[in-house]
Structure 1
Amino acid sequence: MWGIELQRHEDLTLARQIYQTLRVQMTAGQLQPGDVLPATRELARQLAVSRNTVYEAYEMLSAEGYIVSRPGSKTRVAPGLKLEQPPLAVETAPQLQPAYSYKADFKTGQPDLRCFPKHLWLQLLRRAAEQAPAAEWGYTGPAGLPALRAEIASWLLRSRGLTVLSQNIFVTAGATQALHLLAELLCVEGREIIVEDPCHSGMLRVLEQHGGHIRPVPVDHQGLQTENLHGKQACAVYVTPSHQFPLGGILPAGRRTELIRFARENDLYLIEDDYDSEFRYSGPPVAPLCSMDPARVIYVGTFSKILFPALRIGYVILPPDLHSSWRQLRTYADVQNPPFEQAALAEYLRTRKLDRHVQQMRRIYGHRRQVLLHTAAGLFGNTWQAWGDAAGLHLALEFPGRRFDQDFARHCKEKGIRITPVEQHSICKGRHLAKLLLGYGHLDASEIISGIRLLHDHIQKQV
């Protein structure tokens, strides 16, 4: 009746089904402006439903302006409802990529989630939610929970020797969000962002998305080659001085001084991405560049690689003159991080459980690094060399005379090996074709050994 076919066993209510059917008929022109709809009692009888059901459907149509109804008069279709039907789009089924299972997975930047104390974390998270005051169930502001900011300041003093005021620390949803906001904050039309070459391709895309004109500066064993800094067209410099990604060098004091001098002379900020320097195996973590000039250096840190990637908590240390702009940008981006995870992390820091976890993982990762180097030496002999400092969750290996490009990576994948050529992170192509990146943090010793053997066999077949 009236083209209404009710599905009485669907989740959609009968009133909603009546409303949707009549609405479609009105916008398709099947019901014309001024056409009279049956009375609620009559339509209810025809559809074998209660009068209240039809009344509810009419109420929805009336509230949205599809029908006009006045006391003592009939219910009619409102004018101006007809829509021209667009061409029927041909829907193509999405090509779902099956989860790929690698025999050897040397993905970079991945901590070992098997070692994370999940039970303890869940206890802290539940306690944080239970004990949170009512105010923390609302918006707590774009800077982050004061307790977490204070604990991050204490953590930086213990782990880096960096003295920082908690009011200069702003909590972020990971380092990637921090870079998005900084690019929005610092990018000036017509000016350049100086970046290391090679650098993390994902971070490079973030800067490009915000309209930054990229000027690459090459790196060597010691990081950014500051002698290549020149000109007054830059608005920011993105740098990883404590463990250059991907080649692993530590920026020495002379270059750090030159970099800060360049920032002062050209009135720009240095973005220091300290993504994994907690895991250094031949001494304490390197002092941040930020400690040399906190007015010119914006420090970006993250807990994702220390704990687990899904945590999505990072932080920035901002010079005071950027606080107001940052608060405004963060407010209109996503306002804040979830408060309960912030509170749980603050307690994890306060009780020094994070310190102990990092110490434990530093030993584990350091051993795995040695297993990788020892296995590579046994299989490849003296045909390769390692780049960078003994730190982080990956190694850069150079095989002089070899060529590792995207075709090589694709062939490795076909053989069940995930590996990243340094060329993938290079801006100026062709300079680092002989280098490979091997992530090892998430692999145990047996997985590393079997993976290097597979890689060795595959490389030998490419000769």
Structure 2
Amino acid sequence: MWGIALQRHSEVALARQLYQILREKMTDGQLRPGEALPSTRELAKQLALSRNTICEAYEMLAAEGYIISSQGAKTRVADGLQLEKAAPAFTENTPPAAPAIAADFQTGRPDIRQFPRHLWLQLLRKATNELSPQLWGYSGPAGLPVLRREISAWLYRSRGLAAEPQDIFITAGATQGLKLLAGEGQAMILEDPCHSGLRQVLQNRGISIYPVPVDRQGLQTGNLNRNGACAVYVTPSHQFPLGGILPASRRAELVRYARENGLYLLEDDYDSEFRYAGPPVAPLYSLDPQQVIYIGTFSKILFPALRIGYVILPRRLQARWRHLRTYADVQNPPFAQAALAEFLQNRKLDRHIQNMRRLYGHRRHILLQTLTAMFGPGWSAWGDTAGLHLAVEFPGMRFDDMFVRHCQSKGLRLATVETHCLRKGEHRDKLLLGYGHLEPAEIKQGLALLRTAFPA
């Protein structure tokens, strides 16, 4: 009847299939408004189904208003159901398959092969089993108190940064923290160059951006001016992407500027744990906790999929933060938070950082050594001896999108500093080489491919 064909071996129940078929016939006009449907007994006989199956399909149609039925009357199709056929879904042309990547110098990637996954899974299981029943519900937008206490203790012993646990708020990574802090339609001052992904996050929120140039020592504070911005985004401990450390005089000038103009400094401390010529740099936050919002993340230290970061907020912003986080996504899942708290408490994080600092320091040395071997003296490194990437200047070269595509055709993935610039043209001779996730052999293979991409 009506061309109804049911798939009797499908995982979709027969009643659901019948409901979908009849609904489609009503919306495309095959079954017209007011048209009577067969009785459940009659349709069951025609389709060789149980009457219960037909009743279930009719009940679904009636619940959603597709049919009208009443005691002693025929079941009929409701009015106003017909729809025009939807336009075909837009499909993009499938791009040609990219060549296999033999060497990948992407930035910001830790070596997750070195992470103690077995230990982490043990802690995750233990923390989940011991988590109190109330924390399986809504635990609030601030984060687990135990994790906030452990982050406070870790920041103090690793950086000398004194922050009260109640001022620390857990985030789903540094990017979420920035999105919540940046009010829609406002203006912000950004370093130039600055991470292009972060810039896109701000622009997607309608933020106006005022770029301030960066040199080998970071943000050029002498170029700040009164432009109505609500905040300055800065990476003072290891400027991304050029790698400079903001000197004390510029830090003081930046704090004075923030005070005089009534704005906040958003300090993104994304990878200062990995410094290879001395301890981590003291945060800008320590100069003025009421004017600086400190943003930290565990993505570079542990593994990106963890999605746990934190912000240290001045007290006057905390109520607003709780409101925004509550109506964004409420909270991070408590299980990973509890496991991370124990990872911090038993100093496993401290030891992991020490191990990775040695490993990354060695890989950085291999990268510099191989650059010299393959390119001679015709290059220079920018920035402090820290982090998971290196900015490399090749005087006289001009790296653009065509060069990046040329490298990709050879199986080499990398980025230019120019990609992260708002004002183009000043850093065309610089490449970014991420090395933290690469074995020495992979570093050497990648630089060999880079050498072949250079003009003869």
TM-score using structure 2 length: 0.97
Residue 171 of structure 2 corresponds to 172
Q: CA deviation at 1:72?
A: 1.9
- 2:246 is aligned with 1:251: yes
DSSP-derived class of the 2:182 partner? helix
Gaps of 5+ in 2: none
- The aligned counterpart of 2:140 is 141
Question: Counterpart of 1:29?
Answer: 29
Matching residue of 1:214? 209
Superimposed CA distance per residue, residues 33-69 of structure 1 (whole angstroms, 9 cap, x where no aligned partner):
2222111111111111111111111111111111111
Q: How does 1:218-257 map to 2 (within 5 A)?
A: 218-257=213-252
Per the alignment, residue 128 of structure 1 pairs with: 127
What amino acid is the match of 1:110?
Answer: R
| SS of alignment partner, residue 386 of structure 1 | strand
CA separation of 1:147 and 1:2: change in aligned 2, threshold 3 A: same
Q: Distance in 2 between matches of 1:26 and 1:64?
A: 13
Report the equivalent of 1:14: 14
- Helix, strand or coil at the partner of 1:234: coil
Is 1:198 equivalent to 2:193 in the alignment?
yes
What is the aligned partner in structure 2 of residue 113 from structure 1? Answer: 112
Instruction: Say which is worse superposed, 312-321 or 371-380, in terms of deviation.
Output: 371-380
**One-letter amino acid of the counterpart of residue 165, structure 1:** E
> Aligned partner of 1:102: which letter?
I
Bigger mean CA deviation after superposition, 374-383 or 431-440: 374-383
User: CA–CA distance in 2 between the matches of 1:442 and 1:80?
Assistant: 59
Q: Which residue of 2 aligns with 1:80?
A: 80
Amino acid at match of 2:22: L
Please name the residue that 2:340 is paired with: 345
Letter in 2 for 1:15: A
* Number of corresponding residues: 456
1:105–1:85 CA distance, 2 compared to 1 (3 A): closer
Provide the rounded CA distance (Å) in 2 between the counterparts of 1:321 and 1:272.
18
Shift, 1:449, TM fit: 2.0
Name the counterpart of 2:367.
372
Determine the C-alpha separation between the residues in 2 that align with 1:214 and 1:133. Answer: 45
Deviation readout 1:424-448 (Å, 9 max, x if unpaired)? 1111101011111111101111221
The residue correspondences of 1:52-451 to structure 2 (distance < 5 A) are 52-86=52-86, 88-89=87-88, 92=91, 95=94, 101-184=100-183, 187-189=184-186, 192-451=187-446
Contact 2:185 2:205 in 1 (8 A): no
Opposite residue 115 of structure 1, the aligned amino acid is Q
Q: Tell me, what secondary structure is at the counterpart of 1:6?
A: coil
The CA distance in 1 between the partners of 2:96 and 2:118, in whole Å, is 32
SS of the equivalent of 1:446 reads helix
Distance 2:62 2:185 in 1: 51
| Alpha-carbon shift at residue 285 of structure 1 (Å) | 0.2
For residues 149-189 of structure 1, give each alpha carbon's deviation from its aligned partner in whole angstroms, at most 9, with x where no partner exists. Answer: 111111100111100011111111111111111113xx554
- The CA RMSD measured in Å over matched residues stands at 1.5
Alignment partners' CA distance in 1, 2:156 and 2:97: 45
Distance 1:455 1:99, change over 3 A: closer
Identity %: 65
Structure 1 gaps of 5+ residues are none
Which residue is equivalent to 2:4? 4
What TM-score, normalized to structure 1?
A: 0.95
Deviations 1:62-82 (A, max 9, x none): 111111111122222222222
CA positional deviation for 1:95? 2.4
* Aligned residues of 1:218 and 1:225 also touching (Cα < 8 A): yes
- Secondary structure of residue in 1 paired with 2:418: helix
Q: Distance in 1 between matches of 2:447 and 2:74?
A: 81
8 Å CA contact retained: 2:99, 2:409: no
One-letter identity of the residue aligned with 1:139: Y
Pairing 1:41-52 to 2, within 5 Å after superposition:
41-52=41-52
CA displacement 1:391-443 (0-9 Å, x = unmatched): 00011111111111211111111111111111111111010111111111011
Q: CA shift at 1:32, angstroms?
A: 2.1
**C-alpha distance in 2 between matches for 1:96 and 1:45:** 52
Give the letter aligned to residue 112 of structure 2: L
Partner AA of 1:63 in structure 2: A
- Report if aligned partners of 1:33, 1:76 keep a CA contact under 8 Å in 2: yes
Report if aligned partners of 1:232, 1:266 keep a CA contact under 8 Å in 2.
no
CA contact (8 A) 1:375 1:449 kept: yes
Greater than 6 Å deviation, 4+ residue runs: none
Paired with 1:150 and 1:389, the residues of 2 have a C-alpha distance of: 31
